[in-house]
Protein backbone atom coordinates (compact mmCIF):
# COMPACT_ATOMS: atom_id res chain seq x y z
CA UNK A 1 0.00 0.00 0.00
CA UNK A 2 1.55 3.26 -1.20
CA UNK A 3 0.96 5.86 1.54
CA UNK A 4 1.49 9.54 0.77
CA UNK A 5 0.62 13.06 1.91
CA UNK A 6 -0.51 16.02 -0.18
CA UNK A 7 1.56 19.23 0.02
CA UNK A 8 -1.05 21.74 1.19
CA UNK A 9 -1.31 20.78 4.88
CA UNK A 10 2.50 20.82 5.13
CA UNK A 11 3.30 23.79 2.89
CA UNK A 12 0.17 25.93 2.60
CA UNK A 13 -1.50 27.43 -0.44
CA UNK A 14 1.26 29.92 -1.23
CA UNK A 15 4.29 27.69 -1.29
CA UNK A 16 5.57 28.53 2.21
CA UNK A 17 7.63 25.31 2.30
CA UNK A 18 9.90 24.03 -0.47
CA UNK A 19 9.52 20.65 -2.18
CA UNK A 20 12.86 19.69 -0.63
CA UNK A 21 11.56 20.37 2.88
CA UNK A 22 8.51 18.25 2.15
CA UNK A 23 10.65 15.41 0.80
CA UNK A 24 12.74 15.54 3.99
CA UNK A 25 9.57 15.40 6.10
CA UNK A 26 8.31 12.37 4.18
CA UNK A 27 11.64 10.58 4.44
CA UNK A 28 11.84 11.23 8.19
CA UNK A 29 8.31 9.83 8.60
CA UNK A 30 8.96 6.87 6.30
CA UNK A 31 6.12 7.73 3.94
CA UNK A 32 6.14 6.07 0.53
CA UNK A 33 5.61 9.33 -1.25
CA UNK A 34 4.31 12.88 -1.43
CA UNK A 35 1.98 14.78 -3.74
CA UNK A 36 3.46 18.09 -4.81
CA UNK A 37 1.14 20.83 -6.08
CA UNK A 38 1.65 22.96 -9.16
CA UNK A 39 1.07 26.66 -8.62
CA UNK A 40 2.48 26.80 -5.09
CA UNK A 41 4.97 24.04 -4.18
CA UNK A 42 6.05 24.03 -7.82
CA UNK A 43 5.63 27.26 -9.79
CA UNK A 44 3.99 27.07 -13.19
CA UNK A 45 7.13 28.52 -14.81
CA UNK A 46 9.43 25.94 -13.21
CA UNK A 47 12.26 24.75 -15.45
CA UNK A 48 12.94 21.21 -16.56
CA UNK A 49 16.29 21.37 -14.77
CA UNK A 50 14.67 22.24 -11.43
CA UNK A 51 12.16 19.41 -11.84
CA UNK A 52 15.02 16.99 -12.42
CA UNK A 53 16.73 18.27 -9.26
CA UNK A 54 13.58 17.72 -7.20
CA UNK A 55 13.15 14.23 -8.67
CA UNK A 56 16.76 13.32 -7.94
CA UNK A 57 16.48 14.62 -4.36
CA UNK A 58 13.35 12.52 -3.80
CA UNK A 59 14.93 9.41 -5.32
CA UNK A 60 17.98 9.74 -3.06
CA UNK A 61 15.64 9.73 -0.04
CA UNK A 62 13.40 6.96 -1.37
CA UNK A 63 10.35 9.24 -1.55
CA UNK A 64 7.93 8.69 -4.43
CA UNK A 65 6.49 11.47 -6.62
CA UNK A 66 3.82 9.46 -8.40
CA UNK A 67 1.06 12.09 -8.51
CA UNK A 68 0.73 15.85 -8.91
CA UNK A 69 -2.19 18.06 -7.88
CA UNK A 70 -3.04 21.72 -8.45
CA UNK A 71 -5.39 24.44 -7.24
CA UNK A 72 -5.16 26.34 -10.51
CA UNK A 73 -8.53 25.10 -11.75
CA UNK A 74 -10.22 27.32 -9.18
CA UNK A 75 -9.75 30.23 -11.56
CA UNK A 76 -10.13 28.48 -14.91
CA UNK A 77 -11.94 25.41 -16.14
CA UNK A 78 -11.45 22.99 -19.01
CA UNK A 79 -15.27 22.75 -19.02
CA UNK A 80 -15.89 26.50 -19.28
CA UNK A 81 -18.40 27.54 -21.92
CA UNK A 82 -16.38 30.75 -22.23
CA UNK A 83 -13.92 29.76 -24.97
CA UNK A 84 -11.11 32.03 -23.83
CA UNK A 85 -11.20 30.52 -20.34
CA UNK A 86 -11.42 26.97 -21.72
CA UNK A 87 -8.38 27.46 -23.96
CA UNK A 88 -6.41 29.01 -21.11
CA UNK A 89 -7.18 25.97 -18.95
CA UNK A 90 -6.18 23.58 -21.74
CA UNK A 91 -2.85 25.33 -22.24
CA UNK A 92 -2.18 25.26 -18.51
CA UNK A 93 -2.98 21.55 -18.42
CA UNK A 94 -0.45 20.87 -21.17
CA UNK A 95 2.24 22.64 -19.12
CA UNK A 96 1.07 20.74 -16.03
CA UNK A 97 1.42 17.43 -17.89
CA UNK A 98 4.87 18.48 -19.07
CA UNK A 99 5.92 19.26 -15.48
CA UNK A 100 4.69 15.81 -14.45
CA UNK A 101 6.84 14.23 -17.16
CA UNK A 102 9.88 16.27 -16.08
CA UNK A 103 9.51 15.35 -12.41
CA UNK A 104 8.75 11.68 -13.03
CA UNK A 105 5.11 11.66 -11.90
CA UNK A 106 2.62 9.39 -13.64
CA UNK A 107 -0.73 10.98 -12.74
CA UNK A 108 -2.04 14.56 -12.75
CA UNK A 109 -5.20 15.63 -10.93
CA UNK A 110 -7.54 17.61 -13.19
CA UNK A 111 -10.93 19.15 -12.33
CA UNK A 112 -13.32 18.23 -15.18
CA UNK A 113 -15.53 21.31 -14.87
CA UNK A 114 -17.97 23.23 -12.72
CA UNK A 115 -21.51 24.50 -13.04
CA UNK A 116 -21.29 26.42 -9.76
CA UNK A 117 -18.62 26.91 -7.10
CA UNK A 118 -20.25 27.82 -3.79
CA UNK A 119 -17.03 28.99 -2.11
CA UNK A 120 -16.05 31.21 -5.07
CA UNK A 121 -19.04 33.46 -5.80
CA UNK A 122 -17.02 35.41 -8.37
CA UNK A 123 -16.89 32.34 -10.61
CA UNK A 124 -19.47 32.24 -13.42
CA UNK A 125 -22.36 29.79 -13.41
CA UNK A 126 -22.18 27.47 -16.44
CA UNK A 127 -24.97 25.17 -17.72
CA UNK A 128 -24.46 21.46 -17.00
CA UNK A 129 -24.87 20.38 -20.64
CA UNK A 130 -22.43 23.05 -21.75
CA UNK A 131 -19.82 21.96 -19.18
CA UNK A 132 -20.22 18.34 -20.27
CA UNK A 133 -19.69 19.24 -23.92
CA UNK A 134 -16.77 21.62 -23.34
CA UNK A 135 -15.02 19.34 -20.84
CA UNK A 136 -15.36 16.50 -23.35
CA UNK A 137 -13.92 18.70 -26.09
CA UNK A 138 -10.99 19.74 -23.90
CA UNK A 139 -10.16 16.21 -22.84
CA UNK A 140 -10.22 14.98 -26.43
CA UNK A 141 -7.60 17.65 -27.15
CA UNK A 142 -5.55 16.77 -24.06
CA UNK A 143 -5.57 12.97 -24.16
CA UNK A 144 -3.20 12.63 -27.17
CA UNK A 145 -0.82 15.08 -25.47
CA UNK A 146 -0.96 13.07 -22.24
CA UNK A 147 -0.51 9.77 -24.06
CA UNK A 148 2.58 11.10 -25.84
CA UNK A 149 4.02 12.21 -22.48
CA UNK A 150 3.15 8.93 -20.74
CA UNK A 151 0.97 10.74 -18.19
CA UNK A 152 -2.50 9.77 -16.95
CA UNK A 153 -5.19 12.43 -16.49
CA UNK A 154 -7.14 11.73 -13.30
CA UNK A 155 -10.38 13.73 -13.00
CA UNK A 156 -11.32 14.47 -9.40
CA UNK A 157 -14.84 14.27 -7.99
CA UNK A 158 -15.25 17.68 -6.38
CA UNK A 159 -18.08 19.87 -5.08
CA UNK A 160 -18.70 21.78 -8.30
CA UNK A 161 -22.18 20.41 -9.13
CA UNK A 162 -20.87 18.41 -12.06
CA UNK A 163 -20.59 14.59 -12.30
CA UNK A 164 -22.16 13.98 -8.92
CA UNK A 165 -22.81 10.22 -9.00
CA UNK A 166 -20.72 7.20 -10.00
CA UNK A 167 -23.05 6.42 -12.90
CA UNK A 168 -22.59 9.94 -14.29
CA UNK A 169 -18.85 9.41 -14.03
CA UNK A 170 -19.08 6.10 -15.89
CA UNK A 171 -21.15 7.62 -18.68
CA UNK A 172 -18.75 10.54 -18.98
CA UNK A 173 -15.58 8.41 -19.02
CA UNK A 174 -17.01 5.90 -21.49
CA UNK A 175 -16.75 8.60 -24.17
CA UNK A 176 -12.96 8.32 -24.20
CA UNK A 177 -11.15 5.45 -25.86
CA UNK A 178 -8.02 5.88 -23.78
CA UNK A 179 -6.46 4.28 -20.73
CA UNK A 180 -4.83 7.62 -19.98
CA UNK A 181 -7.96 9.22 -18.56
CA UNK A 182 -9.79 8.15 -15.42
CA UNK A 183 -10.80 9.24 -11.92
CA UNK A 184 -8.83 10.77 -9.06
CA UNK A 185 -11.21 9.45 -6.42
CA UNK A 186 -11.63 11.56 -3.29
CA UNK A 187 -13.27 9.52 -0.53
CA UNK A 188 -14.47 12.51 1.49
CA UNK A 189 -15.87 14.50 -1.41
CA UNK A 190 -18.20 11.71 -2.49
CA UNK A 191 -19.92 11.32 0.89
CA UNK A 192 -22.36 14.16 0.18
CA UNK A 193 -23.93 12.04 -2.58
CA UNK A 194 -22.96 8.36 -2.23
CA UNK A 195 -20.92 5.97 -0.15
CA UNK A 196 -17.30 5.55 -1.28
CA UNK A 197 -17.97 1.84 -1.79
CA UNK A 198 -20.49 2.66 -4.54
CA UNK A 199 -17.88 4.59 -6.51
CA UNK A 200 -15.28 1.85 -6.11
CA UNK A 201 -17.64 -0.89 -7.27
CA UNK A 202 -18.69 1.00 -10.41
CA UNK A 203 -15.44 2.78 -11.28
CA UNK A 204 -12.68 0.52 -9.90
CA UNK A 205 -11.01 -0.03 -13.26
CA UNK A 206 -11.00 3.72 -13.96
CA UNK A 207 -9.53 4.92 -10.64
CA UNK A 208 -6.02 6.27 -11.22
CA UNK A 209 -5.32 7.64 -7.73
CA UNK A 210 -7.08 8.12 -4.38
CA UNK A 211 -7.34 11.01 -1.94
CA UNK A 212 -8.15 10.14 1.66
CA UNK A 213 -10.09 12.51 3.85
CA UNK A 214 -13.11 11.96 6.07
CA UNK A 215 -16.44 13.73 6.22
CA UNK A 216 -19.27 14.33 8.67
CA UNK A 217 -22.69 15.03 7.23
CA UNK A 218 -25.61 16.85 8.82
CA UNK A 219 -29.38 17.11 8.57
CA UNK A 220 -29.17 18.40 5.00
CA UNK A 221 -26.04 16.57 3.90
CA UNK A 222 -23.46 18.83 5.50
CA UNK A 223 -21.23 21.63 4.28
CA UNK A 224 -17.54 22.43 4.02
CA UNK A 225 -17.24 22.31 7.81
CA UNK A 226 -17.80 18.56 7.51
CA UNK A 227 -14.22 18.16 6.32
CA UNK A 228 -12.41 17.86 9.60
CA UNK A 229 -8.85 17.56 10.86
CA UNK A 230 -8.81 13.88 11.79
CA UNK A 231 -8.71 11.05 9.25
CA UNK A 232 -10.48 8.69 11.63
CA UNK A 233 -13.33 10.98 12.72
CA UNK A 234 -16.25 10.81 10.31
CA UNK A 235 -18.42 8.56 8.18
CA UNK A 236 -15.60 6.51 6.65
CA UNK A 237 -13.90 3.50 8.22
CA UNK A 238 -10.68 3.51 6.23
CA UNK A 239 -9.48 0.09 7.32
CA UNK A 240 -12.68 -1.43 5.92
CA UNK A 241 -12.53 0.80 2.83
CA UNK A 242 -8.99 -0.34 2.02
CA UNK A 243 -10.39 -3.86 1.97
CA UNK A 244 -12.98 -2.78 -0.60
CA UNK A 245 -10.27 -1.25 -2.77
CA UNK A 246 -8.37 -4.53 -2.55
CA UNK A 247 -11.46 -6.54 -3.45
CA UNK A 248 -11.74 -4.65 -6.74
CA UNK A 249 -8.03 -4.80 -7.50
CA UNK A 250 -6.94 -1.22 -6.80
CA UNK A 251 -3.22 -1.13 -5.94
CA UNK A 252 -2.13 2.43 -6.66
CA UNK A 253 -1.58 5.52 -4.50
CA UNK A 254 -3.41 6.52 -1.31
CA UNK A 255 -2.72 10.16 -0.47
CA UNK A 256 -4.10 12.09 2.50
CA UNK A 257 -5.37 15.50 1.37
CA UNK A 258 -6.21 17.25 4.61
CA UNK A 259 -7.80 20.70 4.31
CA UNK A 260 -9.53 21.31 7.67
CA UNK A 261 -12.55 23.38 6.67
CA UNK A 262 -13.99 22.56 10.09
CA UNK A 263 -11.72 25.35 11.36
CA UNK A 264 -13.24 28.08 9.19
CA UNK A 265 -13.10 31.05 9.48
CA UNK A 266 -9.81 30.46 11.33
CA UNK A 267 -8.23 27.82 9.11
CA UNK A 268 -4.48 28.33 8.84
CA UNK A 269 -2.13 26.38 6.60
CA UNK A 270 0.64 25.29 6.65
CA UNK A 271 0.06 23.34 9.84
CA UNK A 272 3.11 21.35 10.95
CA UNK A 273 1.27 19.57 13.76
CA UNK A 274 -1.56 18.50 11.47
CA UNK A 275 0.89 17.31 8.82
CA UNK A 276 2.59 15.15 11.44
CA UNK A 277 -0.76 13.82 12.63
CA UNK A 278 -1.74 12.87 9.08
CA UNK A 279 1.58 11.13 8.48
CA UNK A 280 1.09 9.14 11.67
CA UNK A 281 -2.52 8.27 10.85
CA UNK A 282 -1.97 7.02 7.31
CA UNK A 283 1.05 4.99 8.41
CA UNK A 284 -1.20 3.23 10.93
CA UNK A 285 -3.50 1.90 8.21
Query: Where residue 15 sits, what CATH number does that domain have?
Result: 3.20.20.150
Contact 200, 170 (CB under 8 A): no
Burial of 262 (0-12, 13-18, 19+ CB in 10 A): middle
Residues 70-106 have pLDDT tens digits of 999 999 999 999 999 999 999 999 999 999 999 999 9
Is residue 41 predicted with pLDDT exceeding 70?
Answer: yes
Across the chain, mean pLDDT equals 96
Element (H, E) at 156: strand 152-156
pTM for this model (two decimals): 0.96
Instruction: Report the greatest alpha carbon distance in the chain.
Output: 51
- DSSP helix/strand/coil, 152: strand
Q: Where are the alpha helices (DSSP H) in 174-237?
A: 196-203
Count of structural domains, the chain? 1
| Cis, bond preceding 270 (omega within 30 deg of 0) | yes
Give me the domain span that covers residue 245: 2-283
Residues 185-198 have pLDDT tens digits of 999 999 988 999 99
Cβ neighbour number for residue 10 with a 10 Å cutoff: 25
CA–CA distance, 155 with 172 (Å, rounded to integer): 11
Amino acid sequence: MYKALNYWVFGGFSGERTPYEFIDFAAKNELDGIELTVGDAIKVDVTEEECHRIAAYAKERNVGLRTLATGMYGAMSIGATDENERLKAVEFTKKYITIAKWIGAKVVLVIPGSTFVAWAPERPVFPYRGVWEKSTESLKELIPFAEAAGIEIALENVWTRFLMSPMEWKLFLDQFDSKNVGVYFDTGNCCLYCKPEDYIEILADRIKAVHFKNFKGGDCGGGLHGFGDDLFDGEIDFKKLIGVFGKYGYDRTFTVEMIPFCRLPDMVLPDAALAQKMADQIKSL
